[in-house]
Structures are given as C-alpha cells and as structure tokens.
Amino acid sequence: MFGPDGGDAQTGTVAFDPTQGILTLTPDQPLDADTAYVIHWPELRGIGTASAGRGADVRFTTGHDPDAAAPAFGGVTGLRWDLQRRQSDCNDDLEQRFVFDLDLGDADDDGGRDGLTLVVFQTASPSAPDQSVPVLTRALPAPGDGARVALATGGNVGRVCFAALARDLTGRSSSSGSQQLCVETTAPPFFRGCDVAAAPAGAGTSASGLGFAALALVAIIAARPGRRRHARRPTVSGGP
C-alpha cells in the first residue's frame, strides 16, 4: 500500500535488488510537493527461509521543488580496520571478522540530504582484486558520522579497498564511486604491540624500584627471629 498519509492509495512498481538486498518502489504518477507519504510493506519472507518478516511503514515528505540533479558526495575520506571476535548467535563457535570503519565526506542534494542512501562497495580484495561488489546499503549517516562494514576474514587478508556513493530518491547517484581507499589487513592471530612509558619522577613504580622492594622484603622475612633459616638463593621477579 502506498499513498499520501491519510489519503487514497496510489499505484507503483516494486522491484527487488538481490545484490544489495533492497526493495524499491517507483510511483506510477508524479508526487505532490510538500506532502507526507507512507509506504506499508507487508510481512515478506526472507531469502532462503520460510519465516516472514515484521513488515514496516516507511514515511517521507516530498520537497517543494523537483529533484533534478545528482547528489554531491565526498565519498570515503578515511579507512581503518580491526579484528572482531564474538560468539555466534546460532552455536558456541567463536566467529572472527574484519571490521572496517569508514569516514565519509560531506553530502548534499537538491531533494534534501535526509532522502539520500549510502551504498558502500568493496572494490578490491585478495580473493577478487578487480571485482567491485556492494557490501552495505543504508540511510546516509548524519553529518560527521561514519559507517562500519564487517567482512569474513577468509579471502580478506591483504589489500582491501572500499568506495562509496550517495543515491537520491530518483535513482541518481553521486560521482564518488571512483574514489577508493585501501588498507592492508593481517591474518589473525597477530600482536599489535604495546606502549611503554616511563614512570613519573618520585612515583617509585620503576622496574628497579620494584626489584629493590622485593629484595628488601626477602631480607626482612629472613631476619625474623625464632625461625630456622636454610641457606638458599632467593628468586626475585619483578616487571613494569
């Protein structure tokens, strides 16, 4: 069901994109300006399952002027990665994934920024160096916020690249899809190292200070009266 919020239902064409997993509704007639609309999605079955979803009501308000231009979008401006370990929801196995945090540039559109969709592509991977596939489709995050992509570790150890574009409600896309950033991932397990800082003056927490304190403690225990002492070499351990 589709139409003005509280008004008569209208007709439209619905399409499903399996590569991105999204449904698209194209109205059969032009929309009115400055009008609130609602789309009622029914409880649809998922891919590869007989279970029905929850359905959803999606509301939006049209702008005052027609959306005639493609969005302007800065694309991916920063890229970082890390390893994520968590227990599977289906079994007790420990799953490992690479998580990639993407910084996004500024975005604008004559139809309004709130109507833009973010599409992230993995443009290169060790298993497919020349293949570009969509890995994330969602509403464009708020200004200053980034996006996160989680991928399986298998096939993604090495050079991994991403690009992103913004798409408006008319289907026009920004030209930022050719702008990509890359990182080099490392196969787990790995050790990133640690930071070592000197203790502040007078803090008494240096390695030599701890070693001296341990030796003094041994000397005090050995000097207690009434205890039989055996000649042996004390073992002292200390560390930062």
Q: Do the beta carbons of residue 167 and residue 140 sit within 8 Å?
A: no
Helix H or strand E encompassing 86? strand 76-87
Assign residue 155 a region (left: φ > 0; alpha: ψ between -120 and 50; beta: otherwise). Answer: left
Distance CA 72, CA 168 (A): 10
- Edge-to-edge strands, sheet with 94-104: 76-87, 94-104, 147-152
Among the listed residues 145, 148, 126, the one whose alpha carbon sits nearest the alpha carbon of residue 136: 148
What is the set of domains in the chain, with CATH numbers?
2-61 (no CATH), 72-184 (2.60.40)
CA 137 to chain centre: 12
Phi, psi dihedral angles at 13 (to 5 degrees): -105, 130
Euclidean distance between the first and final Cα of the chain, in Å? Answer: 67
Distance CA 5, CA 40 (A): 11
What value, to the nearest 5°, has the Cα angle with vertex 126 and ends 122 and 131? Answer: 45
Confidence at residue 234, expressed as pLDDT on a 0 to 100 scale = 46
Query: Per-residue pLDDT tens for 40-77?
Result: 988 887 777 777 878 889 888 888 888 889 999 999 99
Over the chain (240 residues), the average pLDDT of each successive run of 10 is: 91 85 86 91 78 84 86 97 78 81 96 90 90 92 96 92 94 93 88 52 48 46 49 45
Confidence at residue 190, expressed as pLDDT on a 0 to 100 scale = 63
What stretches of 106-214 adopt beta strand conformation (E)? Answer: 107-108, 117-124, 133-139, 147-152, 159-167, 180-184
Q: Do the beta carbons of residue 38 and residue 62 sit within 8 Å?
A: no
Confidence at residue 207, expressed as pLDDT on a 0 to 100 scale = 46
Among the listed residues 185, 37, 174, 13, the one whose alpha carbon sits nearest the alpha carbon of residue 99: 185
Q: What is the pTM of this model?
A: 0.66
Distance CA 154, CA 162 (A): 17
